[in-house]
Amino acid sequence: MEEFLTDQLKTQEYFLNMGPQHPATHGVLRLLLKLDGEIIRNVDMDLGFIHRSIEKMCERNTYKQIIHLTDRLDYLSSHMNNEAVCLLVEKALNIEVSDRIKVIRTMMDELTRISSHVLWWGVMGMDIGALTTFMYGFREREMINDIFEETCGARLTMNYNVIGGLRYDLHENFVKRVKEFIKHFKKKLPEYDKLLTNNVIFRKRIEGVGYISEKDAVAYGLNGPTARGSGISCDIRKIHPYSAYDRVDFEEAIFTEGDSYARYKVRIQEMWQSLSILEQLVDKIPEGEYRVKTKAVIKLPEGDYLQRVEAARGDFGIFVKSTGQKFPYRVKFRSPGFANLTALNKMTQGLKIADLVAVLSTIDIVVPDIDR
Amino acid sequence: MTNTEIKNKIEKIFEGLVFSGEESDFLRIEANKDKIRDLMQKLKDDGELSFDYLFSLTGVDFGEELGVIYHLESVKTRKLIQITVKTERENAEIDTIHDIFPAAYFNEIEAHEFFGIKFKNHPDLKHLFLPEDWDKGYPMRKDYTDINMLIR
């Protein structure tokens, strides 16, 4: 029988569409798979299902109006994206912001990072088939959203940063709520490990799957937790510290295995580090102004500007080319997800379709960030 | 390594570049489009500079000309440089660098479909973001108009 199968039956490569309406692609992403049986030979992608041309829109908006457009890129790191625009303009115009603003921005960043990673953790488990994680993840996320709602007035697209500071001062409950959250989350993170990190079934699904070497990771431009899973030190918070990151003590989470499990562990480790940053800052929010007065119409001097921040998905960069007008001449959003997604083909060579879902989930893509 | 040191090192391995922005946070270089592949290869291979990470590739409409702005970073030294390459508006064409930096592959497709810059020897300049049958020009160029555009 065995001989008959190998001699007589011929297999041929075929083509399969995955998405754009597929739960595992985390949005409207279409993957074009070339398969041999169930083995992946090539993954190509088709994007643009929610392309809004935000870069072009920015060319017709003032710098103050651009901020709220960046919320709509990676909506899970909206605070970092807002901050990138503000930092860019503040640096270009030499606006010095108070320590209070810096500390609050840093705390908001870390809360956003935790809420993004918690969502990722829930969805990651669900992609693999562990439905409980989604409920657990959202329970913690809800607490952070409540904190945001009180201070920023919104739960998802906060739009809290403005050029020269913050839109509102902190809500009086902020410190109390953050302390409650730290206490709560410290008890819950070890539970995450018990439920998923050390789960045999889960580990067998992702250990050794989706390997990418350090050399390839650099070549494909990987960044953020995805690159740190391959042993590259690339945390912008460490390399070019902004806001209050130069005065807090934290470790960059790096694992060298390069597989999906390493990328998973990086994000779990990052949540611990974010908690530690929050703990260091929560009692030390300085008094002071929450906003510096700026001109009504902001014009950047002619030139090229680049600002990078560490968003939840990686190295988010804004490049602005200004001709001295109130509108930027050209704005480019360097999206972390787009760079990470380009390496998907490399990571999934020779794997099965079910593994593709696991790998895609550890890259942690957000499609609006990729489409822009 | 300061920007001036980087500039001196690059001048040693490659001729005919225009430098600016030594005092700012990153060095800006203007290069000739015919030699871009050679320049990229040398910047990547040089042991001390080792600009091995393509941070971003941006298509730009300069008005009279089109162009591409590359941001290269060194993973070792974490220094960043900006390289600008210009090309004529009609039949805009620049050599691809996707075999030197695989990260450029999809970025070049993006620059092609929004600005109409052709990347010579790129294997597949398909439509990535726009619909497959798109034939209304290049939306990110400054002279592009569309009846659906609300703000002009």
Least CB-CB distance to A218: which of B26, B53, B80? B53
Q: What is the mean pLDDT of residues A138-154?
A: 89
Is the model's pLDDT at A4 over the cut of 80?
A: no
Least CB-CB distance to B103: which of A319, A321, A342? A342
Tell me the β-bridge partners of A32.
A17, A44
Which pLDDT band, with edges at 50, 70 and 90, does A266 fall under? very high
Q: Which of residues 90-119 of A touch B (CB under 8 A)?
A: none
**pLDDT for B151:** 56
- Closest-CA distance, A106 to chain B, in angstroms, reads 23
Encode pLDDT of A305-340 as tens digits. 999 999 988 889 999 998 888 889 999 999 898 988
Query: Of B68, B83, B79, nearest to B14 (Cα)?
Result: B83
Is the model's pLDDT at B147 over the cut of 80?
A: no
The tokens describing A21, both together, are 């309406």
Q: Scanning the structure block, which residue is given the tokens 């710098």? A: A63
Question: CB within 8 A of A7, min separation 6: which ones?
Answer: none
- Radius of gyration (C-alpha) of chain B in whole angstroms: 16
**pLDDT for A2:** 61
Enumerate the residues of chain A whose CB falls inside 8 A of the CB of residue B21.
304
Helices (H) and strands (E) in chain B, counts: 3, 7
The residue of chain B with its CA nearest to that of A92 is B24
Question: CB within 8 A of B25, min separation 6: which ones?
Answer: A306, B80
Mutate to test the interface with A, among B58, B80, B107 (most CBs of A within 10 A): B58
**pLDDT for A112:** 92
**Whole-model pTM?**
0.88
**pLDDT for A45:** 87
Q: Is A142 on the interface with B (CB under 8 A)?
A: no
The span from the CA of B152 to the CA of B148, in Å, is 10
Encode pLDDT of A292-309 as tens digits. 888 888 888 888 899 999
* Total CB pairs under 8 A between chain A and B: 74
Is the model's pLDDT at B150 over the cut of 70?
A: no
Enumerate the residues of chain B whose CB falls inside 8 A of the CB of residue A216.
102
Note whether B151 contacts A332, CB cutoff 8 Å: no
Enumerate the residues of chain B whose CB falls inside 8 A of the CB of residue A321.
60, 69
The span from the CA of B66 to the CA of B89, in Å, is 6
**pLDDT for A106:** 92
ipTM of the complex as predicted = 0.88
Amino acid of residue B3: N
Encode pLDDT of A163-205 as tens digits. 888 888 888 889 999 999 999 999 988 988 888 888 888 888 8
Q: What is the mean pLDDT of residues A18-33?
A: 80
**pLDDT for B149:** 65
- Closest-CA distance, A48 to chain B, in angstroms, reads 4
**pLDDT for A183:** 92
Q: Is A51 on the interface with B (CB under 8 A)?
A: yes
Q: Which of residues 190-219 of A touch B (CB under 8 A)?
A: 216, 218-219
Is the model's pLDDT at B152 over the cut of 60?
A: no
Encode pLDDT of B97-109 as tens digits. 888 898 899 999 9
The span from the CA of A279 to the CA of A111, in Å, is 11
Encode pLDDT of A336-368 as tens digits. 989 888 888 888 888 888 888 888 888 888 888
Is the model's pLDDT at B34 over the cut of 70?
A: yes
CATH topology assigned to domain B3-120: Beta Polymerase; domain 2 (3.30.460)
Q: What is the mean pLDDT of residues A131-159?
A: 88
The residue of chain A with its CA nearest to that of B140 is A56
Encode pLDDT of A226-256 as tens digits. 999 888 888 888 888 888 888 888 888 899 8
Query: Of A3, A26, A7, A56, nearest to A328 (Cα)?
Result: A56
Terminal-to-terminal C-alpha distance of chain A: 54
Terminal-to-terminal C-alpha distance of chain B: 45
Share of chain B above pLDDT 70, in %: 97
Least CB-CB distance to B56: which of A47, A60, A334? A334
Query: Of B139, B80, B87, B129, nearest to B106 (Cα)?
Result: B129
Enumerate the residues of chain A whose CB falls inside 8 A of the CB of residue B55.
221, 315, 317, 334
Which pLDDT band, with edges at 50, 70 and 90, does A18 fall under? confident
Q: Which domains does chain A have, with CATH numbers?
A: 52-346 (1.10.645.10)
Whole-Å CA distances, B120 to A341, B41, B91, B92, B125: 24, 16, 11, 10, 10
A243 phi and psi angles, rounded to 5 deg: 45, -125
Query: Of A357, A318, A321, nearest to A67 (Cα)?
Result: A318
Is the model's pLDDT at A277 over the cut of 80?
A: yes
Q: What is the mean pLDDT of residues A113-124?
A: 91
Is the model's pLDDT at B146 over the cut of 60?
A: yes
Average pLDDT, chain A: 87
Is the model's pLDDT at A26 over the cut of 80?
A: no
Q: Is A336 on the interface with B (CB under 8 A)?
A: no
Buried b (16+ CB within 10 A) or exposed e, A125-155: bbbbebeebbebbeebbebbbebbeebbeee
Enumerate the residues of chain B whose CB falls inside 8 A of the CB of residue A221.
53-55, 101-103
Encode pLDDT of A32-88 as tens digits. 888 888 888 889 888 888 888 888 888 888 888 888 888 888 888 888 999 999 999
The span from the CA of A361 to the CA of A354, in Å, is 11
Stronger pLDDT, B47 or A266, i.e. the higher one: A266
**pLDDT for A182:** 92
In this structure, the strands spanning B80-88 and B27-31 are parallel
Note whether B55 contacts A60, CB cutoff 8 Å: no
- Closest-CA distance, A18 to chain B, in angstroms, reads 16
